[in-house]
Every structure is written in structure tokens, then in C-alpha cells.
Amino acid sequence: MTTRSTYLRLATAAVVGSLLLGACSSDGDSASTDTSSGSDTSSASSAGEPVVGGTLVDLQNFSAGEPAHIDPSLASELQGAQIGALLYDGLTEFDFTDSKNPELKGAVAEEYAANDTADEFTFTMRDSVNFSDGTPVTPSSFKAAWERANDPEIASDLSYLFLPIQGATEMQEGDVTELSGVVADDEAGTLVVTLTEPFADFPAVVSHPAFSPMPEAAIAAGADWEKDVMVGNGPFAMQEAFAPGAQEIVLVRNDDYWGGLMGHNAYVDEIQFKISKDIDSAYNDFEAGNGQTAAIPSGQFAIATETYPNATEPSLGLYYFAFNDEDSQVGGEANVKLRQAISMAIDRESINAAVYDGSRRMPSGITPPGVPGFEDGLCGDLCSYDPEAAKALYDEWVADGGALDDAISVQFNAGAGHEDVVNIIQANLADNLGIEIQADGRDSTNYFTEMREGQCVFCRAGWIWDYPVYDNAMYALTDSASIDGDNLARYSNPEVDAAIQEARSTLDDEARGKLYADAERTVLQNMNIVPLNWYAGNIVYDETVQNYLYTPLQFTLYEELWLKS
Amino acid sequence: MGGFILRRSLLAIPVVIGAISILFVLFFMIPGDPVTLISGGGGAREVNEQTRANIEAKYGLDDPWFVQYKDYWGRTLSGDLGVSYKSNQSVNDIVKQTVAASGRLAFWAILIEVFIGIGAGILSAVRRYSFLDGLTTISTAAVSAIPVFVLGYLLQRVFGVIPAKNGWPEWATFPVQGIGPDTWVLGVIPTGDQWKYLVLPAITLASVSTAIVARLTRTTMLEVTRADYMRTALAKGLRERSVIFRHGLRNAMIPVVTLIGIDFATLFGSAILTETVFNWPGMGSELASALGSRDVPIVLGLTLVIVLIYVFINLLVDLSYAWFDPRIRSTIAEDS
């Protein structure tokens, strides 16, 4: 009797066990899924004529939680800003048709012009652009909206974008209630903006959703505007207000749209942005056929991009480590060769494969393609993996009198996946140079505050461009004025500062780009900023979606896509 | 009996005060800057000085901790749980929205736990060493070992993704995440499409607890069935079923009911994971995101509600002892 029971129990265990295992492994074979074009991007392969109509169920934008804000003046996170970008059109907009060479064009402003000293800009409004409720978009709509964003009561996290405008600093400190540098002439249809300093790229700055125009109801509502139905002038409109805790945000096509850069209204009737809490669940939902777009969870990049059409083009984001130039161990002119050696000893490809599943792009410098003025190869050989050259440089540094008494301390914010990167770097440096490093993981909430204070020795950081403007990263990361701010490397080079200032006053696009690129080359030679990879898109969609365009700023142009009928 | 209830209810007050005070202190000790959060930062951007001063004045964050503590209790006792740092929404509203959803999920999870768990336990005990017993033993061990979120993910793939990819019939396909149309009868019974959304999360949430309840019931029933009075009842000619349910089960239930009461708190803990995985808009997922963003008012408000619910459930459990065991009933009657 006992023997029989034992066999029965073992058999039961085997059955139950195999059922569980079977459930795990059977999702590898996707029997009836359409295995369309592999990792090719979608834009060129859009089939046929646009079809008007249909509802898009989007699981991609809010795949990991509810947005904090969807008001474009308040939304500093990408997911919330995406909604703002669909509801509002600003003075200017970038045309990403050739994503490596984006072109700034007038949107609501038909044309714009700078004065000779690049500190005063005049925007001339297009006729008959209206909000979706019929009220006209006037220069005052912009001025009032910008003043609202600068209101210290509202305390927008995006208010730093307005600082170049005269009067913005005073307004944010609460001393004045008007932006003295902005003059709106509704009769003539012009908006004249005076800056505190020359800044030739200013027309690009106003393409950011924070500079959207607002109707009067928004001005009256202040920070509570996003609790109502937000009325805008963009290709889509809201039908119902967004209630926090809701499971979706629904946008409908704005049939009174002025046409936009491409000269047409949106094609789909409606977009339902589903709000998920967990990116893996959202992806499961997509695979179950309950949505048409999804973000790729970590570890699934290879399979997802093989199975579905995808948007994985490079975006304007940089993942890097900074050497503190003021640190005696690794910083300063004496240690240039050490830093260069370390950069060449890091195997960026293996980090990309191991940690990011191959989804990131290899950097040739700080600034990625897609920023006007981009030049390939600014880093030269210093960003490639060359252990022999690295060892040679390191030996030279030692011969010059360099010595490492202690392990180099490496800072990063814990719990966000950077541990794996640091481990690989640790192995690379130990194997190739015989250098020891000490991992110093910090709490996420305070990490950047501490790094800005100067606690960085060799610290991990990232930069996502606010708009495709060379100055954006150069000023924030390399200008001496940004020390104690985003210049975590505490890099100070009067030549680079001067180049940035000169570039800001240069109106000719090519000349300006050249100035920034040369400055970047200088910065990279000094190796205080060690680029590790460039971000790339991470989105899949199903075969009913046509013409899915994903910009380098990580926005999706929902107004350009249509659904196969 | 009334006195007993009153005394146990009063015990709730120090429990609530203690729990909230501990949380309050923890939040002050943990590094982290609510101002950065409120201003929408928390990343690579520096907070403007004036913005910081405005926010601190508005939320009273520049007051010393005992002043903030006093203010908090003053507000709470008048029914105002505060306002979320992140979204500026009233915490009272958040609680109202999420309690209903969590409550429904917990209700069905407990039903599953009680009926399937206790049922399986009884069957196991009564048919000891049979195939059914073996099956129950192994599957409960397996299920209680699988982490809740892994089980949730597996169920999503098996009942959501695989049916879609292989064209299974409608009745075998379940939604992967979310909560369906808001149609409930009697507050807890789903109608229309809603019930399909409920199945997978409820099973996931109940899984570990059901396994443990089944094991415990089996053990206590085995103890009870060996007691003398059970043998006497059978000898007297009572049917086996009557003996088990009327005589045996009531005695076996006390440890099990205790477990279910304690488990209610665990249910809320597991609920954070289940609700996140299945995108169920309950207190658990709200608590998880508020914790991640250091949104203190929401965390304190939801914890207060959870502590209150937990204290109430345990009061019911204590009262149920009286119902199960007449010996305890008379002890209570003597005391009150």
C-alpha cells in the first residue's frame, strides 16, 4: 500500500510540475503571429494610402504608471508631455522627416526672425489658427500661457526653460507678475521676445511643449487646468477630463485642426491611452491582442523586435559616467591619460549586450545624430574598446609619475539597474589595466543632489535633450556656469565657455554647429565625460498600425499614423 | 458580550496611534526631499530656490517635526486626510476610489481561501493518504512556494496571451489586466463582463493563503478526528458527515480562523503585488506608487485605513471564537 502511494505521489508531482513548466515555455512558439519585417524601422515601409478612421489602443505611453501631469506647462516627464504635444501646437516645431537632420519650421508662427545680436526674436502668427472650442489663438494666448508657467504659485518644474527670457527670473522669484521681455501685439499678430543674453537657438527652445499657447479658461484655472477637459489647438482633443486613478486617457481627432506641418488632420478617430502599472503586464496585454502598441520590457528586446514591427531608432539621450575634474585622484590635467585609458578599457558593446539586450546605440561622442550640427567621430578612438592601447596609455601615465593608492570610488543611484553596468566596468578595468574600483551605490532620491554638490568621483549620469539643440547638453554638462548644476564633472575650460558664448550669438546654423562640435571635441579629449551609450526607441506595434513615426525626442507622432482597414 | 466588544474596540485606538506614529517617524528619518517631489523634480533638475520656499511654506514642511505631527493629527481627527504631494488630489478621494476596488478583490480572495482552502483541507484530512490527499499536499506546497507576482505573470500568459495567439475559445480567454466596466450587484458580485476581469487577480491573490489554509485545516482536522468525543459520536451511530461538520469542524476552526484574520493583513501586502501586476486600481497599487514617490500624505492615509480595517477584522475573529467554542463564550460572559 505504502509503495503504491509513494509512486502515486511522485507521479502527481511530475504532472503538476510539467504543467507549470509547460505554461512557461509554450509562449516561445508564436504560432499564428505575423512575423513581419524584423528590426527595420517602420517609417519608410508604410504601405499604401492613409486610411481615415479607427481607434488606436495604446499600451506604450503609460506602460509603467500614471502620469504626474498632463498639462504641457507642468509635465516634465515624457509620458505626460506626450499628451501635451498632441493637444497643443506651439510657435515652432521640428520636422523629423529626415531624423538625422531635423529642420525647425514655423508652426503656429508662420515665420520668425532674429535681430542682428540674436537677443530679440519676432514671431508672426499664422491666420486662423483656433483652439478646438473655436476661440482664436493669438499672441496673447502665448504670453498669458508663458506667464502662467512662470507663476511661482504654480511652481512648474519646467520654469527653468523660460530663464533666457527677460523678466522670467524676476517673475519666478515673485517680484513681478508680468514677463517684461514678451510683447504681444494681437492686432499686428506678432510676438516679440527679448532675451537677457544672445541665444541664436531660441526659436528651437519654443518648440518645447512648455511653450504651448493656452485659452483663457486655462489661465483662470491655473494649476487645476489638467483636472478639466483641456482645450488646445493641436491635432487631438480631449473629450473627458482625466481623473487620477482612471485606467485610460482618451483623445479624439480635432476636426478643426489647422493642418500642422504636414498639412492634414490626424487620421485615426480616437486614441485610448491605457494606463498600466507594470511594463511586463502591459506587454502581455499587447501580446494578448488587447492593444496595438507596447513598450518592450527588459530582457525581451531580441524576441520582441524579431516578432513585431518596431520603433527602435536612436533617440536624443546619453548614458555616461563623469570624472570629477577637481578630484585629486582622477581629475585635472595630470590625470588625462588615466581617464583616457579607462575610457578605452571599457567594453561598451558587452555592457549593451548584457544589460540592455543590445537595444542601445554605440556613441561616437556626447551628442547623438539628430541634433543639428552633429558630427560623427568626435570622440575619435577614445570611445572604442582597445585594451592594448589603453594599457599603453596607462603605462605612460604611470611612467609620468601617476599612481593609484586606493580603489577609485564609482557612484551611481542604486536599484535602477546600474549595478550591472558598474560590475562590468569593474571587471574590464581589473582585467585590462589592473585598476581596482569600489562601487558606491547611493539612494536614488538624493543621488543627483549629492553629485551636484561635488561628491562625484566617477559617477553615472544621463542626459535627455529637451529639444534637438546642440547647446542643450553642451551648456548643461560642460559650461563652467553649470558647476553645482548639471555639470557633474565640474569641468571648467575658458576656451569651451567662450566657444559656447560665441555659438549662442552666431546666427548661421552651420557655423554655429561647427563651434559646438569643436568644443565637444576638446571636452572629449579631456575625458571628463565618458559616453557609454545612446538611448534608442523601445517600442513595438502590431501589423494594423501604419506609418508609426518615433522622433529622436522620444515622442510619437500619433497624428501621422493610420490603421490598416 | 457588549462590554467585551467595547473593550476590544478601545484597544484599537493605541494600535492606530502607534502604527501611524511609527510611520511618521520613519518618513522623517528616511533621506529624501518631498520638495523635489512636489515640484515635479526628483531627477537631474535643480529645484529653483523660490519654488522651494513657496512649496515649504504651502505644505508646512519648514515647521519642526512635532508641529507637523500635531497638525497631522488635528487634520486627521477632523476627517481630512490631507492632499497628495504629487497630484494635489485630496487623499479622502483617493481612499474612496481605491477602497471599493481593493475590498472587492479581497472579498473574493477570502471566499476562495475559505471555501477551497478549508474544503481541500477537510477532504485531505478525511481521506488521509488517498490520491486526493497527495494531490492537495503537493499542489499546496508548490503554489505557496511560487511568488505572487510570478504566479500572476504565468496566469496572464496562460489565460491571456496563449489563447489569443492560438485562437482558444472565448470562454477560456481572460483579460490580462485592468478592471472592467463598473457593474456590481450588492457591491461585491460582478455582473456582465466584469467577472472575467476579477478571476485571475482573485486567484493570484488567494493562492498562497489558500494553500496555507488547506494545510492548516488538514492538520487541525486530523488532530480533532482523533479525539475521544469524535469516536464516541461515531459509536453512538451519527453519520460521518454530521460528526465531521457539526462536532469536528467547529473545534478545528479556531486556529484556522486566527490564521485567516492575520492573513487579512498579508492579503493587503500581497495585494500590492497582485494589484500592480493586474493593474487593479486598489489601495495596494496606490500605496506602492505613493511609496516609490515618497508621497507621504497618501501613504499615511491609506495605512490608517488599512490599520482600521485590520483591527476591525481581528475583532470579528475574536468574537467568532465565542461562536465556535461555547467554553470561550461563557468565559467572555463571566468577564463582561
Closest chain A CA to residue B57? A153
Structure letter (DSSP) for residue B115: I
Q: Which residue has the cell 546619453?
A: A318
Q: Which CATH number do you get for residue A334?
A: 3.10.105.10
pLDDT band at B336, cuts 50/70/90?
Answer: low
Closest chain A CA to residue B55? A155
Say how far apart CA A364 and CA B23 lie, in whole Å: 49
pLDDT digits (tens, 9 = 90+) for B28-78: 666 566 666 666 554 445 566 766 777 777 777 777 778 888 888 888 888
| Low-confidence winner among A70-79, B23-32, B80-89 (lowest mean pLDDT) | B23-32
| Low-confidence winner among A69-73, A77-81, A415-419 (lowest mean pLDDT) | A415-419
- Classify residue A3: in a domain, yes or no: no
Q: Which residue has the cell 561647427?
A: A514
Q: Is the pLDDT of residue A29 over 80?
A: no
Angle, alpha carbons A204-A206-A209 (nearest 5°):
115
The grid coordinates of residue B251 equal 473545534
**Contact residues, chain B, for A78 at CB < 8 Å:** none
In sequence order, what DSSP letters do the residues of A357-402 get, joined into one string?
Answer: TT-SB--SSSSPTTSTT--TTTTGGGGS--HHHHHHHHHHHHHTT-
- Classify residue A7: in a domain, yes or no: no
pLDDT score recorded for residue B19: 83
Q: Is the pLDDT of residue A13 over 60?
A: no
Please name the member of A174, A288, A462 whose beta carbon is closest to the beta carbon of B161. Answer: A288
Q: Is the pLDDT of residue B254 over 80?
A: yes
Q: Is the pLDDT of residue A37 over 80?
A: no
A372 torsion bin: left (phi>0), alpha (psi -120 to 50), beta (else): beta
Q: How far is B53 from chain A (nearest CA, A)?
A: 10
The grid coordinates of residue B320 equal 467568532
In whole angstroms, what separates CA A219 from the centre of its chain?
28
pLDDT score recorded for residue A39: 38
Please name the member of A156, A276, A486 whose beta carbon is closest to the beta carbon of B279. Answer: A276
ipTM: 0.81
Q: Are residues A70 and A201 in the same domain?
A: yes
Mean pLDDT of all residues in A238-257: 90
pLDDT score recorded for residue A392: 95
Domain of A136, in residue numbers: 12-311+538-563
Q: Are residues A436 and A525 in the same domain?
A: yes
Q: Do B153 and A281 touch (CB under 8 A)?
A: yes
Q: Are A540 and A294 in contact (CB under 8 A)?
A: yes
CA-only gyration radius of chain B, Å = 24
pLDDT score recorded for residue B44: 44
pLDDT digits (tens, 9 = 90+) for B316-334: 888 887 777 777 777 766 7
Q: Are residues A139 and A177 in the same domain?
A: yes
Q: Are residues A111 and A205 in the same domain?
A: yes
Say how far apart CA A406 and CA A30 lie, in whole Å: 53
- Classify residue A4: in a domain, yes or no: no
Say how far apart CA A167 and CA A164 lie, in whole Å: 9
Q: Do B32 and A443 touch (CB under 8 A)?
A: yes
**Contact residues, chain B, for A65 at CB < 8 Å:** 289
Distant-in-sequence contacts of A517-521, Cβ < 8 A, 24+ apart: A517/A367, A517/A373, A517/A374, A517/A375, A517/A378, A517/A470, A519/A474, A519/A478, A519/A495, A520/A365, A520/A366, A520/A367, A520/A378, A520/A474, A520/A478, A521/A365, A521/A378
Q: Which CATH number do you get for residue A43?
A: 3.40.190.10
Closest chain B CA to residue A67? B87
pLDDT score recorded for residue A33: 35
Please name the member of A12, A155, A485 whose beta carbon is closest to the beta carbon of B55. Answer: A155
Any residues with CB less than 8 A from the CB of A159 and at least 6 apart, and which?
A149, A150, A168, A172, B48, B51
pLDDT score recorded for residue A167: 93
Q: Is the pLDDT of residue A257 over 60?
A: yes
pLDDT digits (tens, 9 = 90+) for A110-129: 999 999 999 999 999 998 89
* Chain B contact present for A463, CB below 8 A: yes
CA distances in angstroms from B153 to A24, A280, A294, B277, listed in the order given: 10, 8, 17, 7
**Contact residues, chain B, for A27 at CB < 8 Å:** 157, 161-162, 165
Strand A236-238 vs strand A248-253: parallel, antiparallel, or unpaired?
antiparallel
* Chain B contact present for A483, CB below 8 A: no
Say how far apart CA A515 and CA A521 lie, in whole Å: 10
pLDDT score recorded for residue A3: 54
Give the closest residue to A486 by CA, choosing from A366, A368, A384: A366
pLDDT band at A59, cuts 50/70/90?
Answer: very high
- Classify residue A528: in a domain, yes or no: yes
pLDDT score recorded for residue A522: 95
Q: How far is B332 from chain A (nearest CA, A)?
A: 45
Closest chain A CA to residue B289? A65
**Contact residues, chain A, for B160 at CB < 8 Å:** 284-285, 288
Q: Is the pLDDT of residue B4 over 80?
A: no
Closest chain B CA to residue A152? B51
Residue B186 has a CB neighbour count (10 Å cut-off) of 5
Q: How far is B321 from chain A (nearest CA, A)?
A: 36
- Classify residue A436: in a domain, yes or no: yes
Q: Do B45 and A223 touch (CB under 8 A)?
A: no
Closest chain B CA to residue A224? B88
Using H for helix, E for strand and C for coil, what is the string for A253-311? Answer: ECCCCCCCCCCCCCCCCEEEEEECCCHHHHHHHHHCCCCCEEECCCCCHHHHHHHCCEE
Mean pLDDT of all residues in A136-157: 89
**Residue B109 φ/ψ, nearest 5 degrees:** -65, -40
Closest chain B CA to residue A462? B44
Q: Which domains does chain B have, with CATH numbers?
A: 2-77 (no CATH), 95-335 (1.10.3720.10)
Q: Which residues in chain A (90-149) have CB-CB distances under 8 A to chain B?
A: none
* Chain B contact present for A245, CB below 8 A: yes
Q: Are residues A359 and A274 in the same domain?
A: no
- Classify residue A405: in a domain, yes or no: yes
Q: Are residues A267 and A400 in the same domain?
A: no
Q: Are residues A479 and A362 in the same domain?
A: yes
Q: Is the pLDDT of residue B313 over 60?
A: yes
pLDDT digits (tens, 9 = 90+) for B108-125: 999 998 999 988 888 888
Q: Which residues in chain A (249-308) have CB-CB distances under 8 A to chain B?
A: 274-278, 280-282, 284-285, 287-290
Say how far apart CA A500 and CA B102 lie, in whole Å: 55
Burial label, A59 (beta-carbon count in 10 A; 0-12, 13-18, 19+): buried
Q: Is the pLDDT of residue B96 over 60?
A: yes
Q: Are residues A337 and A300 in the same domain?
A: no
Per the model's pLDDT, the better-predicted residue between A100 and A434 turns out to be: A434
Closest chain B CA to residue A243? B89
pLDDT band at B287, cuts 50/70/90?
Answer: confident
Q: Are residues A292 and A357 in the same domain?
A: no
Q: Are residues A426 and A545 in the same domain?
A: no
Mean pLDDT of all residues in A335-351: 95
Say how far apart CA A21 and CA A85 lie, in whole Å: 45
Please name the member of A223, A446, A448 whose beta carbon is closest to the beta carbon of B44. Answer: A448
Say how far apart CA B144 and CA B137 lie, in whole Å: 11
Q: Are residues A285 and A328 in the same domain?
A: no
Question: How many domains are there within chain A?
Answer: 2
CA dihedral sign of residues A500, A502, A508, A510: negative
**Contact residues, chain B, for A416 at CB < 8 Å:** none
* Chain B contact present for A43, CB below 8 A: no
In sequence order, what DSSP letters do the residues of B199-232 get, joined into one string?
Answer: HHHHHHHHHHHHHHHHHHHHHHHHHHHTSHHHHH
In a mutagenesis test of the B interface, which of A71, A157, A177 is the best target, namely the one with the most B β-carbons within 10 Å? Answer: A157
**Contact residues, chain B, for A282 at CB < 8 Å:** 177
**Three-state secondary structure call for residue A476:** helix
Please name the member of A153, A285, A449 whose beta carbon is closest to the beta carbon of B176. Answer: A285
Say how far apart CA A460 and CA A474 lie, in whole Å: 17
The grid coordinates of residue B22 equal 511609527
Say how far apart CA B150 and CA A412 lie, in whole Å: 29
Q: Are residues A544 and A532 in the same domain?
A: no
pLDDT score recorded for residue A8: 54
pLDDT band at A429, cuts 50/70/90?
Answer: very high
Q: Are A312 and A358 in contact (CB under 8 A)?
A: no
Global pTM reads 0.81
Q: How far is B134 from chain A (nearest CA, A)?
A: 6
Mean pLDDT of all residues in A443-454: 81
- Classify residue A112: in a domain, yes or no: yes
Please name the member of B42, B50, B87 whose beta carbon is closest to the beta carbon of A173. Answer: B50
- Classify residue A6: in a domain, yes or no: no
Please name the member of B131, B154, B173 whose beta carbon is closest to the beta carbon of A23. Answer: B154
Output the average pLDDT for chain B. 81
**Residue A532 φ/ψ, nearest 5 degrees:** -110, -45
Say how far apart CA A345 and CA A384 lie, in whole Å: 8
Angle, alpha carbons A373-A260-A113 (nearest 5°):
50
pLDDT score recorded for residue A155: 73
pLDDT score recorded for residue A38: 37
Q: Do A157 and B157 touch (CB under 8 A)?
A: no
Q: Is the pLDDT of residue B236 over 90?
A: no
Reported in sequence order, the residue ranges of A136-202 that DSSP labels E, i.e. its strands, are 182-185, 190-194
